[in-house]
């Protein structure tokens, strides 16, 4: 199936083809879609990363507490002063733009065959199983534990290697703070999830300008599969997060910040204390939007279940059954993307507690 980019460049479109009309197809609209977005500017918490790595003891513990509150109340937060130079982020976005500018034949060589292929590009989310397509082209590359890269465009490999390493270091430090905020050792998540061999996926998204943005959808409501995602974008006005029953526009990012979100495996590991948050990407009719979401998960062969320490702490029962991360990933990537449906399958129905 051809890319959205090729579609809009091949002809002058004044309306979208019917098979992109997401918002008029009732069976693909879930309830969350019916709720109008509400703009709450400046509400998403901001974490000052420098306090974690070079603050005083008191500043650091204050920051850990803020991280904990952001995870508990939002599941999304900005990270500023993280030490990754703005130009490294810009170059990564630029290289992804160059990738999408490759000729269609060149990209087709990198389509991949299986959802777990380490280099895979395409359009929509999983066009093989979708009836309605998303206004999005993508590139997904496994960059850790083994680094992969498309061999085009020139420079992509160096730029993504440098970016991936730097983002990974930030992610590890954040998971340290998250561990502490859960009342366990700083290294707890890193060790338990075997992050030395942890999966890191660079997911680049292109949302070309769309003639009928209110009818199309860039990426449907979903939660991310891993532990923690760090996202950057070339412009705001696209991502929306589901919070307290409303869709909230994310368009007020501090300059050069990362937008970080909790993903499904952190919800499982923390036994639901920190929840993955549903988000979606809408499209616009003015300019192409590019985002780079760096997903960080456990080692592929790790079976993840609620951490005994975190279940016991509150005298609770485990709320999720264990599953191998690789199987979870294959199932999520190989299906239609639909809210938190993958995670729901692991949820244990609890009897009302008598305690
Ligand atoms: C993702 C994602 C949102 C965006 O890649 O998982 O949610 O704004 N992307 O591109
Ligand atoms: Ni996502």
Residue in the structure block whose two tokens are 């599969």: 225
From the alpha carbon of 136, which atom of ligand 1 is closest? 10
Q: Considering only CA atoms, which of 34, 62, 27, 33 is closest in space to residue 48?
A: 62
Q: Are 289 and 249 in contact (CB under 8 A)?
A: no
* 267 CA from centroid of ligand 1 (Å): 18
Contact 288, 207 (CB under 8 A): yes
So where are the chain's domains? 4-344
Ligand 1, pocket-test mutation among 75, 202, 279, most atoms within 8 A of CB: 279
Centroid of ligand 2 to alpha carbon of 206 (angstroms)? 13
Q: Which residue in the block uniquely carries the two structure tokens 């034949």?
A: 105
Ligand 2 center from residue 243 Cα (angstroms): 15
> What ligand has the least distance to the C-alpha of 289?
1
Peptide bond just before 351 cis, omega within 30 deg: no
Helix H or strand E segment including 96: helix 86-100
Cα of 257 vs centre of ligand 2, distance in Å, is 17
pLDDT at 34: 47
What is the distance in A from the centroid of ligand 1 to the CA of 48? 23
Instruction: Output helix, strand, coil percentages for the chain, rounded to the nearest 5.
Output: 35, 20, 45
Ligand 2 centroid to Cα of residue 181, in Å, is 24
Q: Which of 93, 136, 137, 219 to mutate to test the pocket of ligand 1 (most atoms within 8 A of CB)?
A: 219
Q: How would you write the pLDDT of the chain (355 residues) with one tens digit per residue?
A: 899 999 999 988 999 999 999 976 544 444 444 455 666 655 899 999 999 999 999 999 999 999 999 999 999 999 999 999 999 999 999 999 999 999 999 999 999 989 899 999 999 999 888 989 999 999 999 999 999 999 999 999 999 999 999 999 999 999 999 999 999 999 999 999 999 999 999 999 999 999 999 999 999 999 999 999 999 999 988 999 999 888 898 988 999 999 999 999 999 999 999 999 999 999 999 999 999 999 999 999 999 999 998 897 656 799 999 999 999 999 998 888 889 999 999 999 866 554 4
For the beta carbon of residue 86, count every other beta carbon within 10 angstroms.
11
Residues with CB under 6 A from ligand 1: 203, 205, 219, 224, 238-239, 279, 281, 291, 293
Per the CB < 8 A criterion, the answer to whether 76 and 241 are in contact is yes
Among 230, 293, 295, 342, name the best residue to mutate to test ligand 1's pocket (greatest count of ligand atoms within 8 A of Cβ).
Answer: 293
The answer to whether the beta carbons of residues 313 and 339 sit under 8 Å apart is no
Give every CB contact of residue 61 below 8 A, 6+ residues apart in sequence: none
Here the tokens at position 297 are 């998960």
**Whole-number Å distance between alpha carbons of 274 and 34:** 26
- Considering only CA atoms, which residue is closest to atom 8 of ligand 1? 239
Backbone angles phi, psi at 150, to 5 degrees: -60, 150
Three-state DSSP class for residue 212: coil
Task: Indicate if the alpha-carbon torsion angle 291, 111, 277, 248 is positive or negative.
Answer: positive
> How far apart (Å, rounded) are the C-alpha atoms in residues 56 and 64?
12
β partners of residue 320: 347
Question: What does the alpha-carbon distance between residue 309 and residue 63 come to, in Å, rounded to a whole number?
Answer: 23
Amino acid 349: pLDDT: 82
| Ligand 1 mean position, distance from CA 260 (Å) | 11
Kind of pairing between the strands at 198-207 and 239-243: unpaired
Report the distance separating Cα 321 and Cα 56, nearest Å: 40
SS3 233: strand
Bridge partners (DSSP) listed for residue 291 = 205, 233
Indicate which residue's Cα is closest to atom 10 of ligand 1. Answer: 291
Q: What is the C-alpha separation between 181 and 39, in angstroms, rounded? A: 29
Question: What would the two tokens of residue 258 be?
Answer: 């990362």
Closest C-alpha to ligand 1, atom 1: 293
User: 261 - beta bridge partners?
Assistant: 76, 229
Q: Name the superfamily (CATH) of residues 4-344.
A: B-lactam Antibiotic, Isopenicillin N Synthase; Chain (2.60.120.330)
């Amino acid at each position: 199936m051809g890319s959205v980019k090729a579609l809009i460049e091949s002809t002058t479109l004044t309306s979208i083809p019917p098979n992109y009309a997401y918002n008029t197809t009732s069976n693909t609209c879930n309830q969350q879609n019916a709720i109008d977005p509400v703009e709450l500017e400046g509400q998403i918490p901001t974490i000052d990363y420098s306090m974690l790595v070079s603050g005083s003891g008191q500043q650091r513990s204050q920051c850990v507490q803020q991280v904990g509150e952001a995870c508990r109340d939002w599941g999304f937060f900005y990270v500023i002063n993280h030490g990754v130079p703005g130009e490294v982020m810009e170059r990564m976005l630029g290289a992804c733009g160059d990738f999408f500018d490759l000729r269609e034949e060149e990209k087709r060589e990198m389509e991949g065959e299986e959802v777990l292929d380490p280099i895979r590009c395409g359009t929509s989310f999983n066009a093989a199983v979708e009836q309605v397509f998303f206004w999005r082209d993508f590139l997904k590359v496994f960059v850790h534990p083994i680094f992969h890269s498309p061999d085009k465009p020139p420079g992509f490999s160096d730029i993504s290697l440098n970016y991936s390493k730097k983002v990974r270091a930030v992610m590890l430090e954040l998971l340290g703070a998250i561990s502490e905020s859960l009342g366990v050792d700083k290294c707890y998540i890193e060790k338990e999830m075997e992050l030395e061999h942890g999966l890191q996926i660079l997911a680049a998204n292109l949302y070309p300008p769309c003639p009928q943005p209110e009818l199309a959808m860039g990426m449907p409501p979903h939660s991310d599969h891993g532990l923690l995602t760090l996202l950057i974008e070339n412009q705001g006005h696209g991502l929306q997060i589901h919070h307290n029953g409303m869709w909230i526009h994310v368009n007020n990012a501090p300059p050069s910040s990362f937008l970080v979100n909790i993903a499904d495996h952190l919800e499982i590991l923390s036994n639901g204390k920190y929840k993955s948050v549903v988000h979606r990407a809408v499209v616009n009719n003015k300019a192409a939007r590019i985002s780079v979401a760096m997903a960080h998960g456990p080692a592929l062969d790790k079976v993840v279940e609620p951490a005994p320490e975190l279940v016991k702490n509150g005298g609770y029962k485990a709320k999720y059954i264990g599953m191998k991360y690789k199987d979870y990933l294959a199932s999520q990537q190989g299906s239609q993307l639909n809210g938190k449906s993958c995670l729901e399958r692991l949820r244990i129905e609890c009897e009302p507690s008598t305690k």
